[in-house]
Structure 1
Amino acid sequence: MTSQALQRLIPTFKARSLAWWQAVEDALPGGRGRRSLWSALIALVMAVLVTLVWLAGRYEASQLQAELERDTANAVSDLRTQLTRHVQALQGLQSSHPSEAFWSLEAQALLRENREMLRIEWRDTALNLKRSADSALRSPVFERVPRSETLSEAQQTCLRAQRSSGASYSRSYFLPQTDGLGMEVMDMCLPNTQGGVLIGFTVVTYGLQELISERLSVGYGRRNEISFTEPDGTRLAIAGTQSRGLRVFTAQQLVDLPGNTLVLRMDGRRGEPDLFPNVLTALVTAMSIALVTVMVLLAKDSRRRLKAENDLAEALAFRKAMEDSLVTGLRARDLEGRITYVNPAFCEMVGLTAEQLTGKLAPMPYWPPEMVDEYKQRQAIRLAGNAPPREGFESVFMRADGTRFEVLIIEAPLISVQGQQTGWMGAVIDISEQRRIEELSRASQERLQATARLATVGEMASLLSHELNQPLAAIASYANGSLNLLKDPAAVPQTLDDVHMALRRIAEQAGRAGKVINSVHDFVRRRDQAREAVAPQALLDAIAPLVNLQARKLQVKVHTRIEPKLPQVLCDRTMVEQVLLNLARNGMQAMDQPGSTERVLVLQARRAGHNATLNAEHGWVEFSVSDVGVGIGEDVASQLFTPFFTTKAEGMGLGLSLCRTVVEQHGGHLNFEPLDPRGTVFRFTLPAVLLDKITA
């Protein structure tokens, strides 16, 4: 952020009573420091606010938790008090020396008054049942499961009660009921003594669910959920209600009974503490929110400015990255012709650094010395505005090492944001490699044309035979006539004149035949018969321009497939290129028929099987040309390679015959086969040469 931006922000700070912020701004010269301070201040205020609210909430929550723990402790105390009263009531029942009938009446009265008691038993010292009473308020608790199956718990409890001479409680156990449900119960055993002598036991079966419901639910279950749990957290009985959607507070207290320990758990749901429990917290919160709001507004304004600066920096960096990654050289000049900018591609092209080029005037260091005057005149014309804009022209540049290379220069006026021309912007493309490839292509085409002459020799054979037969027949006739005239020893001068005329005719006809032969010789003598090692890719690339030219004319798609890492082949390059060209042309012409909807020509090179007739050091490379034309009929297939046999109205029938001859001269084999569902594929093989044989 600049100093001007700071000056614009100062009134805003004063208007919001934040004059102290100005001193901090002045102390930090960079935008990064301001952002860091803002972030730290916002974080501090938010931390204070959150801490205050959190502490207030924690305080109120601790109050609620303490209240619940007090209720739990009171509930445990009430429960112990009630159980102690039960023990006293049972001791009163034992001290009255009742009869069995009276005992039953008293026991039923206790069961009606205490619903948590499910069954009272009177047992002798051997724990044999003398009398029992079940609660009349529900079905007998041991109706489904006989009492004998659970008597072991009562026996152990009574033994502990006998040793302690007081009431003892058993562990809780589960009893299934006739309604398909069940309940958790526990036994309490109270020894009955007279004069210090044990005369029996009173056993009471408690229902844990009823114990909570009757003794604790009324006083503590309105806002809490009360439950008995085992030490591992397993719930044995539960009572009370819970309001959903509120916060849960939990308190636990041990109910330490003689012989057994239960855990009383109380879950209380309370509303969340108020956000602002007191006025001070609300005031601090309001001031903090106001301060944060001011800082947020300031941060947004600074963020907008920083975003604009970052966007501009990113745009400049992106443009610089694009210019640096271009392979095309870029050169900017002012209206006087002075270089103001060059990209790395241009520097690499001429072998000079940007510092060596920037600010240079004509003559430029990359101009060849012999062309300086010409380039000065051309630059003067362009700077004067007489050259058409964006029109490319070719030139020659010189690298720092003195080598020359051809370039294509496309230059256009450099327009500023105000719409004024400030110079010239040029794109420089190195076309030396392109020119070299064009020269190679031209030479390759010349070789193909020479090979095509050889192919046309066969087509000219019939014409040559006719042309040569006439002079040769005339020569023979004149010679025979001359011999017959010379046999007569009495030849007259007239006869001698006839002989002289015949000899002149013979010379004329011989000269005519010689001209015909020389014309054919001149047609074919331009090529070399030497063989060389050639990559299959190079053979297919050499014929690609001619094949693609005819393919575009006939609307044929050409696909080239070359197996990776193919060895080179030993061949007469020109002749093999002519074979591939002839097969490709035949394939495209075969698809130029009515009814051919899809026209695809496939040129392929791959490894082939070994030919046992040749040296085992050589492998084989197979070339194939596939088309989807109308195919070859059986009547044509038998005569396809016969010289002078053709299905074309303008053909001579020597193309495929010549192709097979060329392939066989290289030791390979040319054949064909139909494709499914339609079309034909021609295949021929050429010997491959190992790399060490080539280098040797």
Structure 2
Amino acid sequence: MQDSVSHDPHDVHPPVVPPVPWLRRWWRRQSPGRQDRFAMLAPLAAVLLFLAAIVSAFWYLRLEEMDREQEAVRRDVEYAQQRLRLRLLERQEQLMRIARDVSNKDVDPEEFVGRAEALVTQYPELQVLAWIDERRRIRASYAGPSVPAQQLRLAGDTLRTGETESTFSLVRDVQQPVYLQPAGGGDTVPLLQLHIPLAEQARFAGVVLGEYSVDSLLRYGVPAEVSARYAVSLLDAKGRVLAGQVLPPRGAVSPWLVWASPQPNEYEVPVTPVGNGLVLRAQAYRTSLGVVGSGLFWLVGTLSAMTAWMLIGNWRHTRRRIRAQQALVAETNFRRAMENSMLTGMRALDMHGRITYVNPAFCQMTGWNETELVGRTAPFPYWPQEDLDQLMARLDEELHGRTGPAGYQVRVKRRDGTLFDARLYVSPLVDAKGQQSGWMASMTDITEPNRIREQLSASYERFTTVLEALDASVSVAPLGSEELLFANKLYRQWFGQNTGGHLSMVAQAGVLDTPRTTDESLDNVDSFVGLPTGQLTSAQAENAEIFVNDLGKWLEVRSRYLNWVDGRLAQMVIATDITPRRHAEEQSAAQAERAQSASRLITMGEMASSVAHELNQPLTAIANYCNGMVSRIKANQMQQDDLLLALDKTARQAQRAGQIIQRIRSFVRRSEPNRTPSDVATMVAEAVELAEIELRRRNVRLSHYVAARLPRLMVDPILIEQVLVNLLKNAAESVDQARRPLAQRSVELRAVPRQLEGQAVVEFTVTDTGKGLSPEVMERLYEAFFSTKAEGMGIGLNLCRTIVESHQGRMEAENIYNGSDVAGCRFSFWIPVSGAMNPAASKDAGVPA
């Protein structure tokens, strides 16, 4: 775009060409527009430099004046501070003389009052003099007539503890005069206290208290010439004004006069010997208006600002005209580029249906160029021949403004004869005057979206077919609502079309759900409060097995949370019929129970000869006792006492035989497992009693040890005894098969407490001196129907481990080595003290609960 500003030398003043050669060359290399800008900026820069020079000169002079004023303030304040210091030191010396006379007992209370009255009358800043003993009691006191009644100190009164305790302690420690500013109320006159210690034979005997009026101290201590030139004030340690006057802060009268009222010069110095507790401050009165208040400054500034404003206004007017032309061209180019880069085809019709404009995208879609389309009327060349009637009706609706905002779908023919699907959106075309001049239509190629939509529909049909054919019930419902979002065929067969079955399975399975409400007044209540929102959409599912009475089936329910297609949080429940599996588990449990009883019968069958030998002893004794009593009765040699003794022995032998038979019957009897709190020593004793018969038959020595104070275990004692008997019997057989000498034929049973993985347990160990277990036997030790004995069934150890694991325990086996030789084998199992498993866990372990 060419610069619209004329550069004719007759139209504007020619720019000044710099005389320096290198500057002249630089100037000629600039464009005319840049030369105009430099020519416009040069006068403005000169005006600004002139204004900056004037301001700098004024400011420099003002700084010089401020430095002189500050030096004068500092000098006068230090002079006033010296005068005030000398006055305080004179009063301090006079009070110290009185304190010395009091300490030497040269002054009584009456004379003290007289001398105090003379000092107070002579020196107006001294308001109160008091003699206070070490017990904080006022011995004598005199106050000036201007002291308020609430600040009077009368003889015989006792000062408050909080008022003088810290001061007395300080004076007693340092034994030097101490100045203090007491905290006063809103109505009290600011005072300065001087405490001079009294000493009686090197002992602290109180203080002489002198109180100065801070206002009088400022009035009579500061020279009059200083008070005339400055606003003098006395401040405390916190910066509060105690006496004097203070000039208002900068801008306090009117905020817009901040620059017109410069901050006054001030100087502060602590008052000695008071120290940091009292500060003397002087503020100088303003005698000049400063730089900003100078009329000459404002005149020069105003003229410079007006000149700069006119130069800037002229320059901005020129720049606005140039920018307007550039913006117009840029806007036209931008609109043309936007129309050319759009992927949506644009077509404009006038009020009679004639094409007035098409963009490149429209031409690219149809294959016809702009010259072939502009000016054409219906039928248009991109209309398919078979859709002419339908398209003519659509065009009539478009020209009469009856097209909806959703647009309509048509088929469009390319120049090569191919067709594609398109959607047209029509809107009125309004000109710059607000009058409708035609209709604008935007066309989008929707062939690919239609193809994707068809594929999605086919995919949805396949997905629905798969879900309908599943042998599991699938249902989806949103949280907090009773709407059923999805249900497959099996769910509909079981529960129908409502969410009753879904909610019933969720509630029965104990899966997290939210309370539902239909009260519209609770719309503002968050129904998802308490849900674990951080994990609701995770892939982990919750499983549960429930029994549905209406169906008479066992169902395995799995649930998970998901985001539905509309963004709502939903819960999917998958229910599978596991009734056959539950029946199989119940049958397996019953078979395991029968296998345990069979194992006990087999064990007792193997021990039959030993049991018969054990029963033969009491039966033979009974027969001998009976034959002996019959013979002696027939021979009349039986006394009554002998008869009773023999009958008693016979009864004990019969009782022993009955106990043996009863123990065997209770061991082999098939009964339901009954877990009760059982004593470990009792279970071990009964197991030893049963197994000892077999061990004696095999000539194996049995020793057992039960730790004292073992806790009671929640177990079935018959099952635990069965485990112990099997382990003891196997140990005896192992020792017998190893053919150990008599001294080495032993089996040891121990029951001791232990801590395993932080859990309290009772450990049972059976140790034998047999030949141990080979590695291949160790690998298949608990395998069902595996046995190293020719007559063995291979179910003993398998049942033992099942029984132990059903009680939440574990069983282990290991060889015992003596060097490289196997010296025996140790079987051990432990039962936790924390109690028995729940019934469901027992069934899962294969043992009835």
Same fold (TM > 0.5): no
TM-score band w.r.t. shorter chain: 0.3 to 0.5
TM-score, reference length from structure 1: 0.42
